[in-house]
Amino acid sequence: MASSITSLGIGSGLDANTIVTKLVALESQPITNLQTASDKLQTKISAYGQIQSAVSSVRDAARKLTSVDLWGATAAASADATAVNATTSAGAQIGTYSIDVTALAKPQSVVTKTSLASGASTLGSGTLTLDVGTWTGTSFAAKSGATPVTITVAATDTLANIRDKVNSSNSGVKASIVTDSSGSRLVMQSATTGEANGFRVTVADAGDGNDIDNAGLSALAYDPGSTTAGTSLSQGAADAEATINNVPIKSATNTLSEVVSGLSITLSKVTSSPTITTGPITITVSQDTATITKAVADFATAYSSMATLLKANTKYEESSKAAGVLQGDSGALSVQNQFRSILGNSSAASTTFDTLSSVGLEIQTDGTVKVNSTKLTSALGNLAEVKKLFSNSDSVDPTKDGIMTRLRVMSDSLMGTDGILTVRTAGLKQTITDNQSRQESLQNRVDLYEKRLKAQYTALDTIMAGLTSQGNYVTQMINSLNRSN
């Protein structure tokens, strides 16, 4: 009886494994073709993703050129920014402002008269009470809404500890230590500038019971009305004083943010005083053409990048026979043609400028856009008409829509739910899904085919093994009879 087959082909003597492998590979060729097609589809989806990102950048750049804020933006220039500077915001009016500074806003500052050995020295125990308000001579008036802050000082508290307690008290007073060859002194200063932000320091000196002398904790007191002896005034609190177009103004700070609508003015130097004759500083507020110019340049960059990307993906090189990933793709070609059409067409929005080229945005032979700075600068001299060419929107007559308005609307449409870019990408993804399903179906068929082949060759091995065994038996019998004869 034939023995069981343990290795394919051993019974028949055929290289059955190789035969089965080659037959299965031949049967699997459609799957390989589908896998190659799937890779190409993935490459197309990637290309569409890049195009969508580029279109989004163009849309954002076009949207900026239709922005009310951009066309209404202003900029301020100072004749002497080291003395007076300014920035603009919404509502700033174009014009000039003459600003003369006679005083800068200052914080109050006091310093202890007696130096201690170091910041680690102690003064004694007691309490410090800090009040914020206005000084008129030796009279003090507390600031409306301000609450006195009392700080407890222990006998073991060093000058550095007292400084830290003042700084963390949220009292409107800040402290620091000044150290020189004579020792260390405590400096206390208003946290903010302005006459109403002066301060008074009163002391309950638990050490010697004298609250106004220059001994113990009372060395930190400042209250001229009570003739305290511990500290001296190094700088009085003061408001800024200036004139704007000869109108006098006062401010607790050196930043005038509410004096002129849309204009924030920073005062840095006195321009007129008995010893200073710099005189008024002129601030000029004008249309911010620099920002508009940058926005135009940004659009040109974004559009050129998109145009280059579309061209690379849809081109066909005759010399090398090389095609772009989306060569012949109707969706990509449609996007390319729609952008070219809008950029090359004219608009009736402006009576002065009708094309992008007329304001310096020139379309190149390769489809990119280049800014002609001379032309653009000249056109921006008629800002209202350039604004119309770019940003006008007319619901009645579409021919009067600005070119950037058209680009923004079209870009939104391309990337919308029913837009070409969205629909085409979704279609490619669905094709990949269908491709994968087909691969799985074919793979199941190939697996069954391989199983059938192996079963057939196994059966062949069994039959051939049996025949071989019978042949061997007959041969043995014949040889045995021959020997007997």
- DSSP states of 157-213 as a string? -BHHHHHHHHHTTTSSEEEEEEEETTEEEEEEEESS-SGGGEEEEEEEETTTS-SSS
Instruction: For residue range 80-102, list pLDDT tens digits in order.
Output: 999 999 999 988 999 999 999 99
Q: What tens digit of pLDDT does each residue of 202-219 get?
A: 999 998 899 999 999 999
Which secondary structure element, helix H or strand E, spans residue 251, and what is its range?
A: strand 247-251
Q: What is the pLDDT of residue 7?
A: 60
Percent of the chain with pLDDT over 70: 95
Residues 134 and 181 in one domain: yes
Q: Of 370, 396, 411, which residue is a domain's last?
A: 411
The candidate with the shortest Cα–Cα distance to 331, out of 314, 308, 312, 353, is 314
Q: Give yes or no: residues 82 and 198 share one domain.
A: no
Domain identity same for 323 and 174: no
Dist CA 229 CA 220 (whole Å): 9
The answer to whether residues 197 and 307 belong to one domain is no
Averaged pLDDT for residues 138-158: 97
Q: Is residue 4 situated within a structural domain?
A: no
Q: CA–CA separation, 359 vs 380, rounded Å?
A: 8
Q: Is residue 402 part of a domain?
A: yes
Q: Which of 19-23, 138-142, 174-178, 233-237 has the lowest mean pLDDT?
A: 19-23
Region 5-12: mean pLDDT is: 52
pLDDT on residue 6: 47
Residues 193 and 208 in one domain: yes
- Identify residue 153 by its one-letter amino acid code: V
Residue 16 pLDDT exceeds 80: no
Tens of pLDDT, residues 277-287: 898 999 999 99
Categorize the per-residue pLDDT at 5 as very low, low, confident or very high, splitting at 50, 70 and 90.
very low
Containing H/E element for 89?
none
Q: Is residue 481 scored above 90 in pLDDT? A: no
Q: How far apart are CA 80 and CA 27, in angstroms?
A: 84
Q: Are residues 277 and 338 in the same domain?
A: no
Instruction: Indicate if the pLDDT at residue 240 is higher than 90.
Output: yes
| pLDDT above 90 coverage of the chain, percent | 75
* Calpha distance 362→381 (Å, rounded): 19
Question: Does residue 61 lie within any of the structural domains?
Answer: no
Q: Has residue 62 been placed in a domain?
A: no
Task: Examine the domain organization and report whether 344 and 201 are in the same domain.
Answer: no
Least confident of 230-234, 323-327, 463-467: 463-467
Which of 24-38, 175-189, 349-363, 405-419 is predicted with the least confidence, judged by mean pLDDT? Answer: 24-38
Specify if 52 maps to a domain: no
Distance between CA atoms of residues 462 and 267, nearest Å: 105
Which pTM value belongs to this model?
0.72
**Side-chain half-sphere exposure of 293, counting CA atoms within 13 A:** 14
| DSSP states along 252-319 | SSSEEEEEETTEEEEE-S--BSSS-B---EEEEEEE-HHHHHHHHHHHHHHHHHHHHHHHHHH-EETT
For residue 244, the SS3 value is strand
Q: How many domains does the chain have?
A: 3
Q: Are residues 281 and 377 in the same domain?
A: no
Domain residue limits at 153: 109-235
317 and 393 share one domain: yes
* Domain's final residue, options 225, 253, 287: 287
In a domain, 378, yes or no: yes
Q: Residue 464 has which token pair?
A: 């051939």
pLDDT band at 318 (very low <50, low <70, confident <90, very high): confident
Average pLDDT over residues 359-373: 96
343, 264: one domain: no
**d(C-alpha 249, C-alpha 46), whole Å:** 62
Name the pLDDT band for 32 (thresholds 50, 70, 90).
confident
Query: Are 130 and 80 in a shared domain?
Result: no
Decide if 143 is inside a domain: yes
Residue 373 lies in a domain: yes
Q: C-alpha distances in angstroms, 383 versus 122, 161, 170?
A: 69, 62, 51
Show the tokens assigned to 336: 């390319």
Residue 3: pLDDT band (50, 70, 90) is very low
Q: What pLDDT shows up at residue 466? A: 66
* End position of a domain, from candidates 376, 411, 446: 411
455: confidence class by pLDDT, cuts 50, 70, 90 = confident
Are residues 301 and 253 located together in one domain of the fold? no
